[in-house]
Each structure stands twice: as structure tokens, then as C-alpha cells.
Structure 1
Amino acid sequence: MELKLPEHYDPRLTIRETQDAIKYIRDTFQKELGREMNLERISAPLFVEHSSGLNDNLNGTERPVAFDMPELPGETLEVVHSLAKWKRMALKEYGFQPGEGLYTNMNAIRRDEKLDNLHSCYVDQWDWEKVITKEERNLDTLKATVRQIFKIIRHMQHEVWYKYPEAVKLLPKDIYFITTQELENLYPDKTPKERENLITREHGCVFLMQIGDKLAGGKPHDGRAPDYDDWKLNGDILFWFEHLNCALEISSMGIRVDEVSLAEQLEKAGCSDRRSLPYHKMLLDGELPCTIGGGIGQSRLCMLLLDRAHIGEVQASIWPKEMRKACKEHNIFLL
């Protein structure tokens, strides 16, 4: 996606009013998330040891920001791409029980990200994870959790409307569920992103399920690391976004792999060598709890609720000078 500059764009709030709204959304949403989903706020690391296998490798091509320390000879430390695996370890270490969970602030640097209206090299999200029973590793649990998150986001729309009625974006009243294979069957001649846009434009909000495995057409809908989400029980929450005429992903989430799905997915992804890493060995030996979890983009949510055309309007990051100039000329003020 290249930079899009909507005609006659009006942010409706000043930069200082926007900063106030950002703080309000972030403070209020995390409290609602914790209360409604029985999640406790915990602290999380900014970086992990490479040898632990805890970092998320995303699509397998992104390079983590890495460094060494004199006190840890021979070890490489990596800024996290996400906390998908770390959270599951934390649930075990801290003694969380089924029905209990955690959430935390996750901050990452994605150095290989292509910069546009939706993508920044700085990623900020609420990472959350919850213990479930073996019997709850099913589609019903996944859908019920998605509906719960959708309900919290919808409630935030009303909260923002009370304080900033001139700026809030009105959201759809329901969320539509569809698998990536069903979507490919609907639009076999379209690219994955084109399919996402078509289905999200039609329904307003979509939970697109089963991301990672190959489809009938021979390719996966999108890349997904093989060692955290179960590819049969995961998905993305997408909202239609008029300013950019595209689907806006707010959350990636899913029921996590167990020992069976981990072994299958590592083999499919050609990553069986990871079986020897500490985290993966614990999982294959059945030592970690069954969990469901995901990430909810903080800046993405602010962008959605305040109806902003560029993620740089709601987060302070680095942008090319040409992009800053073009945005300013179109009334898009990057922080």
C-alpha cells in the first residue's frame, strides 16, 4: 500500500486535543479489556534472548533489532516482534488458572516495515493471553472471545463519542465470520488483500479465520508463524476504513498451538529444528497451559475511533521527509 492522501480531509481535532483523546482511549480501553475479559495487567520485556526461542518471527523474513551485552557473552538480545510466546510462559510461571489471563503493553521496532498510512516501524499494542482448558480449544471459544473483543471496541466508540462527538467514527453493529478458504472460493481471481477489502467493505467488520496454512489455490492467505497460533483456530479482526478505501486490521489473535498442532506446523513451515529450543521443548512435552491470546493495536485503535487517515497522527514515529511534507499539504499532521 502506498501513501494515500484523502481529498478534503479534516482531522476535526487540534494536535493537542488529539493527544488528549489518545490518552483517554488508551487509558479507558485497557481498563475495559482487563475487566471484561478477566485479565490482569503485568510488566513485559522489551527484548529477549535469541537462544530462548521466545521471539516471534512473524513471516520469517523480518529482521529483529538485535544487540549484545558484555555481561552476557555469546548471547544475542532481540527487541521483541511480539510477546506471543513470552505471555504463555508468564501464565505458567505466575500460576494463572483456566479463565484467568494477563495483558501488557507491547512495544516493538520492525525495521523492515514499509511505511505508509497504516504501517510504522514502531509497533504498540496490548498483548493479552488467557488460560483455557483442553476442551475449550475449539471454534466456539474462539468466536465467543472475538465477539467479546468486538463488544469492548464498540463500547469504546460510545465512550469516545461522549467526549469527542465531532471526531468519532461510527462502527458497524456486528462482526462477520469467514474462513480464508471460503474467501478464496468467493474471489478466486483476486489477491488476498483484494479479498479482504471486498468482504470487509460488504460487512463493515470481519473476523477472517484460519490464516497460515496453504489454501486450495496452493498458497497461504498470509504468513503466520508456525509456533504460536493454531492455524485452524486463529484470525484477524478487520474494520472497513473509508478514508483509505481498505480493510484496517485491529487485532491478530487465536487459540495457541498444542503439542500436536505445533509439530504439524513446524514441519509444514520447514522449521522442525526449532523443536530443540527451550520454549518449544516445553510445549511439545505438554508443560505449558492451553491458552488463547492476541494483540490489539493501540495506535490502530486510536486511528479507527478518531477516524484518522494516517497512523502517524496518533503515534510519534519516524517518517520520510517527503511523506511528512505531502501529509502536511493535505491537512494530515504527523506527530
Structure 2
Amino acid sequence: MTKPAKVSKEELLYGEKGVSLIKDYFSTQLCKQLSLTKVSAPLFVKSGTGFNDDLNGVEQPIRFNLKNIPYQVEIVQSLAKWKRMRLHELDMEPETGIVTDMRAIRPDEVVSDIHSFYVDQWDWEKCILDEHRNIPYLKETVKKIYQAILDTNKMLEEKHVRVLDLPESVYFIHSEELLQLYPDLDCKERENRIAKLHGAVFIMGIGGKLSNNAVHDDRAPDYDDWSSDNEDGYQGLNGDLILWNPALDRALEISSMGIRVNAASLGSQLTLLGCGHRSGLQFHSNVLNNVYPLSIGGGIGQSRLCMFLLQKKKISEVQSGIWPDA
């Protein structure tokens, strides 16, 4: 990653106003589209409960002790699992949910022009019924999120901000279909090719092995359901929303989301990834025993969306942080 770009004070202030405008407007539109209620979120959780996000399974969270607290805590890496517990505590009705203004630190992140140690995202979760655990419901939810992005882009246009010419709809494709389409390309090259072609793409079924015996991208076993058979003849009820970013001349992942594991798929995925020992943790035990509601959820990168809509080339232009050699 190169050093953060040097800009004038006027440009900095203009950019900060744009970031604030996008964050306020988009969060409101997201709540309207998905019937979400804004709730507060923890910065750290108790270690050893299974509520923190293990991401790809290898990243280590920051752990520390608090005065007069007999156990260790750790800074969240995302709220993927905490949100499902919160839905249960709030006794949310089906087709309603919550969204948090999540702040996290990922010390093992490989920073780049689009990655940082500090993560800010809208972490949302919504109660669903068993009849909603299918591809049509997943697609309909993605369309609503994309509509919130379109509405935000239109708002910027009305504010006389130079905006992107975004496609009116999202193109859906399974990761196996994408592999068959571009068998000689690696996963990131496939994403770039399909995103440049369609502008806005949702790639489904991320986490399970494909016909080349590799995964499109790694996923933890305990939040998204990437193993269940779906009505399209493939596996997985999750995916990534990817937009073509002309400022970077590459694809940009805006959101990772999916229908969450039920008891059966959690047990299967823990076994597949050799994580059966997690079944005794508080979160996993409650999913396996059907204590928590069925849900769909995900994270939408705040800085990612801002840099995309404001056409910035570096995440450091929309976010304060620490960068290598900065």
C-alpha cells in the first residue's frame, strides 16, 4: 500500500462532509428497506463464548483484562454472531431486525488501499422464518440493499456531487457458475471480469468447495450457511455484493452477507472445517439447540461505500487510521 494521499485542508473538510452525508442517509434508507431498528453495539465481548467473529478462522482478536472483571475480554472483529443473540434478547418478530454502527479492530488484516486495521460497517441482522431460507429471499434482500445504494447515489446527485452511473439492478451468479465461465482465472480475476461486465454483481455460495476442489473465498463455519443445497442446484445461501469501481479500475466488495446457519448446517460446517470443539461454546450451543431465531444478516462497509460513491482511490481518504510507512 502507498502512503495516504496528501490533500488540502479544504479537500479534507469537503470529504468529511461527504462521508457524513453518505453515512447518515444510507443508514436511514437501509433501515427502511429491511425494517431494521438501530441499536447500540459492544466494542468488546467476553472471551471464550464464541460471540466474536473468527473471520476466516485464523485472525486473532485483541484480548485484554479489565479492572475488577474476573475474565478476559476481546475487541470485536465483527458482530456477525453477537447480533443473532441480540435478536433473541430483544424478541424481534420475523421480518424485522437490527442494525449497528459497528467499530472493530483487525490486527491481522493485510492493509491495502481498500483494507485497514480499523473496520467500520453497518452490521445488520434480521429474523426470518424457515420458509425464507432460500435463494429467492436472499436475492430479494440483496436487491433492497442495492436500492438503498442507488437512492444514496441519487441523493448525492441532487446535492450537485459528481456521481457514478450505476446499473439499475444487480446481476446474480453462483461462484461455481463464475468458475465455469472463467476457469483459467483466479477468484479475484473472476470477480474483476464479471464486475466490469455487469457493474453490480452478487456472487453466491462462498465458503464451500467448488468443482476445482477450492473455495471461492474462505468463510467461518458458524454464521453464513454456505453448505446447504439450494433450489438452483448448487450449495450455499450466502454471498458477496461486488461493485465495479472505475476509480480503482477493479471490483470492490461492499458487503458480505447471507442466510445464517441453522442447527443442521452449523453442525455440518463445524465438522467440515474441523471445528467440532466449538459446539460447546455458548453461541454455538444455542444455535444447535434452536434457542436463537433463524436469521439473515451481513456487514456493509461504511468506508468502502463512502470511497466508492465519492470515487476515492484510497480508504485513507475517507477514514482516519494508521498505515504502513505513513
TM bucket, shorter chain: over 0.9
The amino acid that maps onto 1:152 is A
Determine helix, strand or coil for the equivalent of 1:26: helix
Contact 1:4 1:244 in 2 (8 A): no
* Structure-2 residue corresponding to 1:289: 293
What are the equivalent positions in structure 2 for 1:1-150 lying under 5 Å apart? 2-3=1-2, 14-73=11-70, 75-150=71-146
2:241 alignment partner, one of 237, 241, 247? 237
Distance in 1 between residues matched to 2:4 and 2:185, nearest whole Å: 25
* Structure-1 residue corresponding to 2:166: 171
Structure 1: runs of 5+ lacking an equivalent: 325-335
The amino acid that maps onto 1:203 is H
* Structure-2 residue corresponding to 1:327: none
Contact 1:56 1:82 in 2 (8 A): yes
Determine helix, strand or coil for the equivalent of 2:255: strand
Distance in 1 between residues matched to 2:323 and 2:67, nearest whole Å: 33
- TM superposition shift of 1:55: 0.6
Distance in 2 between residues matched to 1:184 and 1:51, nearest whole Å: 37
**Is residue 187 of structure 2 the alignment partner of residue 192 of structure 1?**
yes
**Cα deviation per residue 1:263-322 (whole Å; 9 max; x = unaligned)?**
01000111000000011111111111010010111101101110110011001011123x
* Structure-1 residue corresponding to 2:229: none
Distance in 2 between residues matched to 1:134 and 1:149, nearest whole Å: 21
Determine helix, strand or coil for the equivalent of 1:15: helix
**Cα deviation per residue 1:188-234 (whole Å; 9 max; x = unaligned)?**
12111111111111111100000001111011111111100000100
* Structure-2 residue corresponding to 1:223: 218
- TM superposition shift of 1:171: 1.6
Determine helix, strand or coil for the equivalent of 1:140: helix
**Cα deviation per residue 1:160-185 (whole Å; 9 max; x = unaligned)?**
1111423x222222210011111111
Distance in 1 between residues matched to 2:201 and 2:222, nearest whole Å: 24
* Structure-2 residue corresponding to 1:162: 158
* Cα distance, 1:109–1:164 mapped onto 2, change above 3 Å: farther
Distance in 1 between residues matched to 2:73 and 2:165, nearest whole Å: 42
The TM-score with structure 2 as length reference comes to: 0.93
**Cα deviation per residue 1:136-156 (whole Å; 9 max; x = unaligned)?**
111111000000101110110
1:263 alignment partner, one of 261, 264, 267? 267
Structure 2: runs of 5+ lacking an equivalent: 227-235
Contact 2:173 2:204 in 1 (8 A): yes
Distance in 1 between residues matched to 2:268 and 2:66, nearest whole Å: 36
Distance in 1 between residues matched to 2:160 and 2:220, nearest whole Å: 39
Contact 1:180 1:209 in 2 (8 A): yes
Contact 2:36 2:97 in 1 (8 A): yes
* Structure-2 residue corresponding to 1:180: 175
The amino acid that maps onto 1:14 is E
- TM superposition shift of 1:33: 1.0
Identity %: 48
Distance in 2 between residues matched to 1:134 and 1:116, nearest whole Å: 39
Distance in 1 between residues matched to 2:33 and 2:126, nearest whole Å: 12
- TM superposition shift of 1:115: 1.7
- TM superposition shift of 1:35: 1.8
Determine helix, strand or coil for the equivalent of 1:106: strand
- TM superposition shift of 1:76: 2.2
Contact 1:4 1:117 in 2 (8 A): no
